[in-house]
Amino acid sequence: NAGVMQNPRHLVRRRGQEARLRCSPMKGHSHVYWYRQLPEEGLKFMVYLQKENIIDESGMPKERFSAEFPKEGPSILRIQQVVRGDSAAYFCASSPWTSGGASSYEQYFGPGTRLTVT
Amino acid sequence: GENVEQHPSTLSVQEGDSAVIKCTYSDSASNYFPWYKQELGKGPQLIIDIRSNVGEKKDQRIAVTLNKTAKHFSLHITETQPEDSAVYFCADITGGFKTIFGAGTRLFVKA
């Protein structure tokens, strides 16, 4: 059973370009979370999605950032018009359904995408 | 808002000694407390967790304790080995899904 997959692992963008980060959850997992990690810091929650639904995006910047988790295919975190301050590691995590329909507490992380904005 | 404080930020121990990392949280509604290990260039890996109805949990050389009254929880690693060297993060879960991470502890185990 493959773990959480993220690609690309490294992404370099010039200021003003768009960055698209992809996340494929573990098989059987329906819940996806995105986190951002700045150097020497902990992870900061950005957004929580289920298939075709954004459940909580309270950690997402209001502008330039968007996320989706379509019925088919990976979850996408999209950053438009990137700036140098967007340089960070972006991690995706997934968790399974519980019998009550809520997300299981255990979250399993992917290897991350390291975004560098030049 | 929710906050998790983690200490120390850096910890250096001799191989075979024990290491203890401590965290405090602010949200009294939190009921799940995972610990993650992150090696250089990799994603966080869940190593142990504890729920609020349990005071202590052990898995081989790793143990976690929880004091809900004081809002403290700690990670204990015994008989440390060089491969334990990594950054360790405590976290708590609020609202059933929102993970709040501590700032991390960089553990060095000297051979």
Can you tell me the distance from the alpha carbon of B6 to that of A35, in angstroms, rounded to the nearest whole number?
19
Mean pLDDT, chain B, whole residue set: 92
Average pLDDT over residues B61-82: 96
Query: A96: which chain B residues are within 8 Å (Cβ-Cβ)?
Result: none
A43: tokens are 């992870």
CB contact under 8 A, B32 and A105: yes
Q: Residue B100 corresponds to which amino acid?
A: I
Interface touch A91/B98, C-beta < 8 Å: no
Is the confidence at residue B52, as pLDDT, over 60? yes
State yes or no: cis peptide before A8, omega within 30 of 0: yes
CA distance A114 to chain B (A): 9
Query: What is residue A85's DSSP assignment?
Result: G
Task: Answer whether B21 touches A (CB < 8 Å).
Answer: no
pLDDT, average across residues B79-94: 94
* Helices H / strands E in chain B, number of each: 0, 11
Confidence band of A98 (pLDDT split at 50, 70, 90): low
What pLDDT is recorded for position A100?
Answer: 57
Burial class from Cβ neighbours inside 10 Å (0-12, 13-18, 19+) for residue A55 reads middle
Percent of chain A beyond pLDDT 90?
75
H or E segment at A35?
A: strand A29-37
Task: Dump pLDDT digits (tens) for A3-59.
Answer: 999 999 999 999 999 999 999 999 988 899 999 999 878 899 999 999 889 999 999
pLDDT for A101 beyond 70:
no
- Chain A residues whose CB is inside 8 A of the B49 CB are 105-106
Mean pLDDT in residue range A60-74? 94
Cβ separation of B99 and A33 shorter than 8 Å? yes
Taking 60 as the threshold, does the pLDDT of residue B62 lie above it?
yes
Give yes or no for residue A102 having a pLDDT over 60.
no
Give the pLDDT band of residue A1 (cuts 50, 70, 90): low
